[in-house]
Amino acid sequence: MIIMDTTPEINLEKIKKQAVVFESENLEFRTYLKNYAHSKQIDIMVQRLNGIYSNAIDCTQCGNCCKELQPSLAENDIAFMASVKNCSVQQFENEHTQYDELDKYRFMKSQPCLFLKEKKCSIYENRPASCDEYPHLNKPDFKYRLKSVLANYELCPIVYNVVEALKKETHFKK
């Protein structure tokens, strides 16, 4: 079993550059992982690594997902956010949200998120479930979700470090 053997990489500029350098390697890793082990075994490895790196990386010193992504919002999120902003739900929807291409899901319009203060969420205790669940590493069938996981590799240090540690743990040859 590999315990974290290096300090996690948290330099966002460096991670972004590495994502370009490792682009084709990461595609090869997707294929490699599909044949490496049963999906449940990989999920166990990923969840352990996620625990290690989530503890080692301080999200309040990062906040990059709140700058770069637009969280999806449920009705109760919008109602709560409207109450924080002291406006009606309708006004909040009109001014601060937008639908996805299929008009199915509502997302926060602003980037960075208007509730991000410096690098911290100002409504952390009541943040949307989509924010709480990010970066979605604990969901099942990681190896079949690697394409969507890799979309977050360049912007989330937790994802970056977990994927790089998983390469080592599964003896993937770079």
What does the binding site for ligand SF4 look like in residue numbers (CB under 6 A)?
Answer: 57, 59, 62-66, 71, 113, 115-116, 121, 123, 127-128, 131, 134-135, 155-158
Q: Please, what is the minimum distance in Å from the beta carbon of residue 132 to ligand SF4?
A: 8
d(CA 35, CA 29): 10
Q: Please, what is the minimum distance in Å from the beta carbon of residue 159 to ligand SF4?
A: 7
d(CA 43, CA 62): 25
Query: Which of 135/165 has CB closer to ligand SF4?
Result: 135
What string of DSSP letters covers 138-173? TSS-GGGSHHHHHTTTTT-HHHHHHHHHHHHHTT--
Query: Which of 19/57 has CB closer to ligand SF4?
Result: 57
Q: Please, what is the minimum distance in Å from the beta carbon of residue 80 to ligand SF4?
A: 10
